[in-house]
Chains A and B, each alone.
Chain A
Amino acid sequence: MVQMTLFARPFTVSELTLHIKGLFDEDETLADVWVEGEVSNLSRPSSGHIYFSLTDAGARLGCVLWRSAAARIRTLPQNGDRVLAHGRVSVYEAQGTYQLYVDEIQPAGLGEYYIQLERLKQRLRDEGLFAEERKRPLPDFPRHIGIVTSPDGAALRDILHVLRRRFPCVAATLAPTQVQGADAPAQIVAALEALNRHTDCDVLIVARGGGSIEELAAFNDEQVARAIARSRIPVVTGIGHETDFTIADFVADRRAPTPTAAAEFVTPDRAELLAALEDMTERLSRTASRRVQDMAANLAYVHKALRRASPEAQIRSHRQRVDELTHRMTLAARQTLSHSKGALKAAADRLHSASPQATLARGYAIVSLRPSGRLVTSTRHVRPGDAIRVQVSDGAFHGRVAEDREDEESKPS
């Protein structure tokens, strides 16, 4: 009997189930598995999900096909069908059972085809045909798009619709081919070669709408894969739906999930381009007007400089200089003059003090005979009746010598 260890808490059922589920979910094989078996107990309740079992001689596996996954599957299984189902195995907690969550289901006869396909894929991968460094960039602005698809399919319609909407100024050349059936691979190869040889296409689209694995077989063809790899023009594939991967997709320079997406990959976005054009137009006019403003400012500056350097300005400047010199000359002359005046006055003063004038001012007079002008310095120089001129400090007057004579020595005592 097993004794419960002290303190060890027992699992709840949920905890244990979750633990088991974790073990399933960690397992890589269970996460991505193909199972072959016979369908039984198939039921499809109103929820749209499909429940069935896969059995073989020795065992039974519960399977769920969710409504969303069922919608993508072309041929839904019937009781008694031998099928190949793909999905992941996990635990359904509520029932305590494990089951296969199916995302892909094919008739079992294809088992061998899948294996061949995997081998081809591996071989081409080993040759390096899928290598990332082989992938070429697509042109930003394609000029000429080559389209390899059926002229009758929805794929072509979808592609042309996108091209018109996004980038209508592109030229497109359709290399019409069958996209399924025995002739399709050879036609696709020929189309790729013809576009490479005879056109100046800068990108090619290889497209087909959704289909079963048999219907997409042409795009899993080795010759098609090699023709894509050989193309000197970059190739974009848009084959089937999102979930379909073909070998052509792996070899292509870019794989798009659908034909519509392929057309979007090869064309720039119209709205973005228009926005970019608007932005550039705006920058263009902003730069131009700023430049013109700068130039106007420069012009004003240069004009000012020019006016300063003009002959008129020089004449004005010379005239000003003349005025200035004239002024200085006048000043200098005036100064010299007043200097001279001062000196003259000083000289005159000195002269004055030495002149008889001062003597006259003190009451002396200068007497001269008229008209001879001979100075009378002695009584003997004159006789009564002589005409004389008497000069005093402020002028002169005329007179005559009287009869009486007063000699110094004969002066009465």
Chain B
Amino acid sequence: MSQNADIAALSFEEAFRELEALVEQMEAGNLPLEETIRLFERGSLLARHCQDLLDKAELKLKPLTESPDGEATFAPFDEGSR
């Protein structure tokens, strides 16, 4: 399981692309049983991660303003208060 600990940090695209590649790899080749089980486990977790990102993620919104010296600054932003 520990080798799948990285999944939580993957972006949707990374997880989705890896899942696509993994499914194709599994469908294409006669992989050894151990590898099959490892990929199945990882694929299931990748799919779950993608679903969680679609179902549970909170849109992260921050405002960007540029100060006169050309540096960008981020200020807290609350849509509701505007």
A interface residue numbers (CB < 8 A to B): 139-141, 143, 146, 151-152, 156-157, 160, 163-164, 167-176, 190-191, 194-195, 197-199, 270, 273-274, 277, 280-281, 283-285, 287-288, 291-292, 294-295
Given contacts A151-B63, A173-B64, A287 and B26 within 8 Å (CB-CB)? yes
Best-buried of A169, A195, A288 by chain B (most CB within 10 Å): A169
B61 touches A198 (CB 8 A): no
**Within B37-61, which residues are at the interface with A (CB < 8 Å)?**
37, 39-40, 43-44, 47, 50-51, 53-54, 57-61
C-alpha gap A176/B36 in the complex (Å): 50
CB distance from B4 to the nearest CB of A (A): 14
C-alpha gap A140/B54 in the complex (Å): 15
C-alpha gap A146/B61 in the complex (Å): 10
A280 touches B43 (CB 8 A): yes
Query: Chain A residue with minimal CB distance to B57?
Result: A169
Query: Chain B residue with minimal CB distance to A168?
Result: B57
Ranked 9 nearest A-B pairs via Cβ: A198-B72, A141-B13, A169-B57, A169-B53, A288-B40, A194-B66, A168-B57, A284-B43, A291-B36
C-alpha gap A195/B62 in the complex (Å): 12
Q: Which residues of A contact B65 (CB under 8 A)?
A: 175-176, 194
Q: Which residues of A contact B61 (CB under 8 A)?
A: 160, 171-174
Given contacts A151-B82, A174-B61, 8 further A-B contacts (CB under 8 A): A160-B79, A163-B59, A168-B58, A170-B12, A174-B62, A198-B64, A285-B44, A288-B36
Q: Which residues of B contact A273 (CB under 8 A)?
A: 16, 50, 54
- Chain B 2-15 near chain A by CB (<8 Å), digits 1 or 0: 00000000011100
Question: Residue A291 contacts which of B20, B26, B82 (CB distance < 8 angstroms)?
Answer: B26
Given contacts A190-B66, A197-B72, A291 and B54 within 8 Å (CB-CB)? no
Interface residue total, chain B, C-beta cutoff 8 A: 39
C-alpha gap A292/B35 in the complex (Å): 11
Q: Which residues of B contact A295 (CB under 8 A)?
A: 33, 36
19 example contacts (A-B, Cβ-Cβ < 8 A) are as follows A141-B12, A141-B13, A151-B63, A151-B77, A168-B57, A169-B57, A170-B60, A172-B59, A172-B61, A194-B64, A198-B66, A270-B54, A277-B19, A280-B19, A284-B26, A284-B39, A285-B44, A288-B37, A288-B39
Query: Chain A residue with minimal CB distance to B41?
Result: A288
Given contacts A173-B62, A174-B77, A292 and B36 within 8 Å (CB-CB)? yes
C-alpha gap A146/B11 in the complex (Å): 17
Given contacts A197-B72, A287-B23, A280 and B57 within 8 Å (CB-CB)? no
CB distance from A69 to the nearest CB of B (A): 34
Q: Which residues of A contact B77 (CB under 8 A)?
A: 151, 174
Q: Which residues of B contact A174 (CB under 8 A)?
A: 61-64, 77
A287 touches B59 (CB 8 A): no
B54 touches A274 (CB 8 A): yes
A280 touches B23 (CB 8 A): yes
Query: Chain B residue with minimal CB distance to A291?
Result: B36
Question: Residue A284 contacts which of B30, B40, B53, B60 (CB distance < 8 angstroms)?
Answer: B40
Q: Which residues of B contact A197 (CB under 8 A)?
A: 70, 72
Q: Which residues of A contact B37 (CB under 8 A)?
A: 288
C-alpha gap A292/B38 in the complex (Å): 12
Given contacts A194-B66, A288-B36, A281 and B27 within 8 Å (CB-CB)? no
CB distance from A154 to the nearest CB of B (A): 12
